[in-house]
Chains A and B, each alone.
Chain A
Amino acid sequence: MNKVDLSVSIGSLQLRNPIMLASGTVGYGNEIAEFVDLNAIGAIVTKSLSLKPRKGNPPQRIVETPAGMLNSIGLSNVGVEEFIKSKIPFLQKYDVPIVCNIAASTVDEYAECVNLLTNENAIKAFEINVSCPNVKDGGLQFGNDVAAVGKVTAKVRTATNKPIIIKLSPNVSYIANFAKVVKQEGGDAVSAINTLVGTSFNIFTRKPKIFSVTGGLSGPAIKPVALAKVLEIKRNIEIPIIGIGGIMNWQDVVEFMIAGASAVQIGTLNFINPSAAKEILSSLEDFCIKQNLNKLSELTGSFLI
């Protein structure tokens, strides 16, 4: 028995601990399973799934920047049908909640994807990607438009009874408005934040370093921005928040929870240290013991401002 209760809830979604593995940083779980016992983590969020398979963008897709990286994968994925056929059976072997991340080009397509997946027992929640910066025909337009995010939330709500998490874009002036519409239209939680739009040039060729010119910035460089967005939502809207953005260690997890996150997602860190989730969990437990915290979830929104 753990001495400390690490469990958290995100609306009706109960997790054994707050450490989730972020979409697009753990594929469909099989590679990361060689480094982390999936049975020990809070939840795994799948690579964004679209109705049909997507090839993704040509290279170069990745460029490192100071304390961060830009990516422009272009939602390369196997599609919903193949996911059900070949990826769910692997994930089902583990006792880990699967959160299915969904990307689409139209409001109806989001709902169609969710509808096809909602009866899969292994899937415990949906995370709706309204904010991918790297595809031409979707993503950011939704993420930048409060009304569109409201429509997507409402439509997906009709397709499932499972918890709906909307992954919000940081590339907006007032993120709390988006959290507000998610709540109004029946969403259960928000993930904050997706990547920030960025770019990088080769100074000798004067060409952008990544094929699609701009990409999504992640890594420790974005952590202060992400924390401020989480705080902004927490102070204005009553909705569970999953904090994401540049988490590199257990201290960052604690910081996100203090700012208002009920759970967090580890992303870029998985590329660098694929066993990080495991290491963070054991340190979190030590922290709680030293701080005399019986429940880790007491940290959520505990900022003193």
Chain B
Amino acid sequence: MFTVNAPVKDLIELDHKIFLQKIFCPEIASIIQPGQFLMVKVSNSYYPLLRRPFSVCDVEGGHIYLMFNILGEGTKLLASKKTGEPVDILGPLGNGFSYEGDYDTAVIVGGGLGAAPFPFLIKRLADKKEVMAFIGGRSIHDVITYGMKNLLTSTDDGTSGFKGNVVELLKHKISDLKKSKIKIFGCGPTVMLRALKEFSLENDFDCEVSTECAMACGFGICQGCPIESTNHKDKYLLVCKDGPIFNIKDVEL
């Protein structure tokens, strides 16, 4: 965990206002693990004041990629950075996915921008595990295909793939899922994670999810990002330090 100023190299527009910012940051690229995140300060001004959390979407040599859509002042500034301009990065933060272990197929489940941490994970899984990816969104423009492998999609409006949500798609494909020993990796809106929890528990699938919460620091000092633990009701876990990756059984969503 350290701070570093790193120059942006390229802004890639994926589809419909979803961007990848490519940043040259060998210090982070060489040590970060899939599922870990960074706190990024996009300007020296007092607005936005705080750093923003970003999961690392992909790593390529000394470069890291951040995936985002333009929602507020911070992401607008991030998208407007010119080549060579620095961003101030704090990281790597959080625990990362436990992607090694006793299973054969990694089942990736992402909703909307929840797909962000998976291209890096899929890259690390190459040659080790089979991958099946299930990515959902409201419509075809919200479905992220970048870096995916063996991809099936779902959309609420039926403009891409299965018509319905991504967990309904999983249910639809349950017989395929039961052909090998799987581990599910999920990330997306809370409603999706809740449905994924029910689905995983019903079928006794091992499942890890990436969670998010508004936070100020990213490393435990602000105490701003509590998440309810299933096992210990007397205290919260922190998304930033205890997570952001949790076994889906261990947290209340």
Stretch at the interface among A8-16, A67-75, A150-158, A167-175: A67-75
Q: Given the complex of chains A and B, what is the CA–CA distance between A146 and B17 in angstroms?
A: 55
Residues of B within 8 A of A273 (CB): 3
Within 8 A of A (CB), among B29-53: 41, 46-51
Q: Is B235 an interface residue (CB 8 A)?
A: yes
Q: Is the CB of A271 within 8 A of B223?
A: no
Residues of A within 8 A of B48 (CB): 64
Given A55-B234, A56-B223, are A67 and B46 neighbors across the interface (CB < 8 Å)? yes
Q: Given the complex of chains A and B, what is the CA–CA distance between A69 and B235 in angstroms?
A: 24
B121 vs chain A, min Cβ distance (A): 25
Q: Is A59 an interface residue (CB 8 A)?
A: yes
Q: From B48, B50, B90, B220, name the one whose CB has the most chain A CB atoms within 10 angstroms.
A: B50
Q: Is A58 an interface residue (CB 8 A)?
A: yes
Stretch at the interface among B122-130, B171-179, B181-189, B208-216: B208-216
Name the contact of B221 in the complex, choosing from A68, A220, A271 (C-beta under 8 A).
A271
Q: Given the complex of chains A and B, what is the CA–CA distance between A262 and B217 in angstroms?
A: 28
Residues of B within 8 A of A73 (CB): 222-224
The prevalent SS among residues of A at the interface is loop
Q: Is A301 an interface residue (CB 8 A)?
A: no
Residues of A within 8 A of B49 (CB): 64, 67-69, 219-220, 268, 272
Residues of A within 8 A of B46 (CB): 66-67, 219-221, 248
Q: Mark A15-38, 1 if CB is under 8 A from B, else 0.
A: 000000000111100011011000
Q: Is the CB of A268 within 8 A of B216?
A: yes
Q: Is the CB of B226 within 8 A of A59?
A: yes
Q: Mark B105-135, 1 if CB is under 8 A from A, else 0.
A: 0000000000000000000000000000000
Q: Is A177 an interface residue (CB 8 A)?
A: no
Q: Mark A69-111, 1 if CB is under 8 A from B, else 0.
A: 1010100100000000000000000000000000000000000
Q: Is A160 an interface residue (CB 8 A)?
A: no
Given A61-B214, A66-B47, A76-B236, are A272 and B224 neighbors across the interface (CB < 8 Å)? no
Closest to A47 in B: B223
Q: Is B71 an interface residue (CB 8 A)?
A: no
Residues of B within 8 A of A240 (CB): none
Closest to B228 in A: A58
Q: Is the CB of B214 within 8 A of A26?
A: no
Q: Given the complex of chains A and B, what is the CA–CA distance between A76 and B48 in angstroms?
A: 26
Q: Given the complex of chains A and B, what is the CA–CA distance between A55 and B238 in angstroms?
A: 12
Q: Is A275 an interface residue (CB 8 A)?
A: yes
Q: Is the CB of B216 within 8 A of A62?
A: yes
Q: Is B191 an interface residue (CB 8 A)?
A: no
Name the contact of B213 in the complex, choosing from A24, A59, A69, A268 (C-beta under 8 A).
A59
Q: Is the CB of B41 within 8 A of A62?
A: no
Name the contact of B235 in the complex, choosing from A32, A47, A53, A67 (C-beta under 8 A).
A53
A21 vs chain B, min Cβ distance (A): 9
A272 vs chain B, min Cβ distance (A): 6
Q: Is A148 an interface residue (CB 8 A)?
A: no
Residues of A within 8 A of B226 (CB): 56-59, 61, 76
Residues of A within 8 A of B59 (CB): none
Q: Is B25 an interface residue (CB 8 A)?
A: no
A224 vs chain B, min Cβ distance (A): 13
Q: Is the CB of B50 within 8 A of A59?
A: no
Residues of B within 8 A of A248 (CB): 46
Q: Given the complex of chains A and B, what is the CA–CA distance between A26 and B47 in angstroms?
A: 23
Q: From B1, B3, B47, B224, name the one whose CB has the most chain A CB atoms within 10 angstroms.
A: B224
A-B contact pairs, 19 of them (CB 8 A): A25-B222, A34-B1, A47-B223, A53-B235, A57-B226, A59-B227, A62-B215, A62-B224, A64-B50, A64-B216, A68-B49, A69-B50, A71-B216, A220-B46, A268-B49, A270-B217, A272-B41, A272-B50, A274-B219
4 shortest interchain CB distances as A-B pairs: A62-B224, A271-B217, A67-B46, A271-B216
By a beta-carbon cutoff of 8 Å, the part of chain B in contact with chain A is 1-3, 41, 46-51, 90, 213-217, 219-228, 234-236
Extra contacts, 5 of them, besides A59-B227, A76-B226, A220-B49 (Cβ < 8 A), are A53-B235, A61-B225, A271-B51, A274-B3, A274-B221
